[in-house]
Chain A
């Protein structure tokens, strides 16, 4: 258990519905438990099918990268994990996504609590129109009742963990969108980790910011993975090779290959994977 963990109540689901986690995808996982298991996930935009029978295990406390050409369904896939797609009427998902054995797609799962446990960082930085402090405190105040002192302590901790504290210390009352692009994205990361999620989803988190800021975020990911399970979608293969432990290659809505990053990038099994890695398409 980590230091100063926030107390949590798990959603109670009748025992009959708790599934045994499926067998690990690969021996490479070395017996580590899967934090999240996807079984047969299919996804539709209206009548168009975007994901076809995705099955994958996301290992705990590791960084899993999802790569593939644009339009292959990477973002769609992880957006099923926190059911953010439910904002849009014509999008729907079928199949099972088991977070610690409980199916998050089931209507009995409380989606607000799900989103407390699964955090998401978006492609473009999305600071709320509030001060830096209020941004980070937002999630805390949403899910917990705590004294002002505790909120302040947790905001500082989150900002430190997001490697932003030194740049905003003393300036917490400045508006969030007065920060630079890279700083805003780290602010969003601080905001997400303030409520101590178990799983952190990052949807192309550095595609809208400059290379120097990108490097800072990649270092951040490296330090965060000790406490969180991270899934990062990226179209930048070098980034995937740098930060991730495991990589999944998506193509046209299907998972083509999944394995350790080392194996995928040096010795891919599928020809499609090899073609993508070597830049023959995408």
Chain B
């Protein structure tokens, strides 16, 4: 369509995009919306697939062992008798250990970052702690096996043994490899996550409230203990649950240092196994159907444990956001 362009006086060579193109645009818009919706739905599809396949492939083992699977600590690929008890025990104990060690440390570090440090120092230290979160699990495993475990065997287990050896927890030879090392490394791995969330929670306490407490004459610690921590308790608990969720699923670091022993031992110095470490160690070589199915059933149990922690954390944190009005 040739039009005389009155600006330049020449024959214009442009044409308006016709109106029927508008319906094409509308269809494109709809297609775009459905395309992105499909991408979002894909996430749900994958999650559903994971659940479905975990269940489906555990069925043979579930049929063979029933609910006894959860209580039985036998793990014998030769006789094809499998029980999840030692793995579940190991998972829970190592995680509990990790939380017991990490939480006070995280709180202390968060306190330092928020209340005590100069802002520049806080940023640098905070950055370093965050970088700890970026270190892959396998690096923790390497360091754990070759550096930390010998250190634990030499400098941590003997003193514990001599002072607290009357407790069954601290008996047995100091091998380095075992539950306590795994617990400590896990603690190190979840430390940055709990610290980061606790720091955010403490920073969200309205300054006026802290100032009121300080105005009455509280020390910095008293303000934190009496005001900030109770104020942010829900958030901190949510952070702890999140940390629990991560620790439970940690694989490589634990596999390196826990010893892969399918026994339930009372002592923390002893070797053990977690669900994740068993999967890592044995899955590739498991050739028989029952063996593989038992392993996958272990995976299902791990998945369920993780889900429980995640859901609880989600509900907690949502409550925090509601009360602080962030959403």
Chief secondary structure at chain A's binding surface = loop
CB contact list, B9-41 vs A, under 8 A:
12-19, 22, 25-26
Q: Which segment of A57-65, A140-148, A161-169, A235-243 sits at the interface? A: A140-148
CB-based nearest A residue for B15: A145
B144 CB to closest chain A CB, in angstroms?
A: 46
Cβ–Cβ contact A112 & B22, under 8 A: yes
Please, which residues of chain A bring their CB within 8 A of the CB of B22? 110, 112-113
Chain A residue contacts of B17, Cβ below 8 A:
143-145
A6, B16: Cβ atoms under 8 Å? yes
Bound state CA distance, A6 and B12, in angstroms? Answer: 10
> Contact between B7 and A144 (Cβ–Cβ < 8 Å)?
no
* Cβ 8 A contact of B6, one of A5, A143, A145: A5
Of B14, B18, B26, the residue contacting A147 (CB under 8 A) is B14
- Contact in complex: B19, A9 (CB < 8 Å): yes
Q: A110-B22, A112-B25, A113-B19 are in contact. Are A146 and B13 (CB under 8 A)?
A: yes
Q: Which B residues are CB-close (under 8 A) to A145?
A: 14-15, 17
The A108-125 residues at the B interface (CB cut-off 8 A) are 110, 112-113
Residue in A4, A9, A12 whose beta carbon sits within 8 Å of that of B5 in the complex? A4
Is B117 close to A, CB under 8 A? no
Residue of B nearest to A150 (CB): B14
Contacts of B1 in A (CB 8 A): 7
0 or 1 for each of B184-219: is its CB under 8 Å from A? (1 = yes):
000000000000000000000000000000000000
A212 at the interface (CB under 8 A from B): no
List A residues 1-23 near B (Cβ within 8 Å).
3-9, 11-12
Is B100 in contact with chain A by the CB < 8 A criterion?
no
| Minimum Cβ distance to chain B for residue A110 (Å) | 5
A153 on the interface (CB 8 Å rule)?
yes
CB B167 to nearest CB in A, in angstroms, measures 61
Name A143's closest neighbour in chain B (CB-CB): B17
With contacts A110-B22, A112-B25, A113-B22 known, is A157 near B16, CB below 8 A? Answer: no
B8 within 8 A of partner (CB): yes
Per-residue interface assignment for chain A, residues 17 to 53, with 1 indicating a CB less than 8 Å from any chain B CB and 0 otherwise = 0000000000000000000000000000000000000
Which residues of B are found within 8 Å of A4, using beta-carbon distances?
Answer: 5-8
- Let me know if B44 is at the binding interface, CB within 8 A: no
With A3-B7, A5-B6, A157-B7: A143-B13 Cβ-Cβ less than 8 Å: no
Q: Is residue B3 within 8 Å, beta carbon to beta carbon, of the partner chain?
A: yes
- Complex partner residue of A150 from B5, B6, B19, CB under 8 angstroms: B5
Q: Complex formed: what's the CA distance from A8 to B19 in Å? A: 10
Known contacts A112-B22, A113-B22; A144/B15 CB under 8 A: yes
CB-CB under 8 A from A157, the residues of chain B are: 7
A143 to B19 CA separation, bound complex (whole angstroms): 10
Q: Which residues of B contact A153 (CB under 8 A)?
A: 7-8
Q: How far is the CB of B21 from chain A (nearest CB, A)?
A: 9
Please name all residues of chain A whose beta carbon is closer than 8 Å to the beta carbon of B19 when the two chains form the complex: 9, 11-12, 110, 113
- Closest residue of chain A to B18 (Cβ to Cβ) is A9
Chain B residues whose C-beta falls within 8 Å of the C-beta of A6 in the assembled complex: 16
Chain A residue, CB-CB nearest to B1: A7
CA distance A7 to B1 in the complex (A): 10
Closest to A1 in B: B6
Chain A residues lying within 8 Å of B15, measured Cβ to Cβ, are 7, 144-145
Query: Is there an interface contact between B16 and A7, defined as CB atoms closer than 8 Å?
Result: yes
- Complex CA gap A130/B12 in Å reads 27
Q: B: which residues have CB within 8 A of A? A: 1, 3, 5-8, 12-19, 22, 25-26
Counting from the closest, the 7 A-B pairs by CB-CB distance are A146-B14, A4-B7, A4-B6, A110-B22, A3-B6, A9-B19, A144-B14
Sample of 10 further A-B pairs with CB below 8 A, known A7-B15, A146-B12, A150-B13:
A3-B6, A4-B6, A5-B6, A7-B3, A11-B19, A113-B22, A143-B17, A144-B16, A146-B14, A153-B7
Q: 10 A-B contacts, Cβ less than 8 Å apart?
A: A6-B16, A7-B15, A9-B18, A12-B19, A110-B19, A112-B26, A146-B13, A146-B14, A150-B5, A150-B13
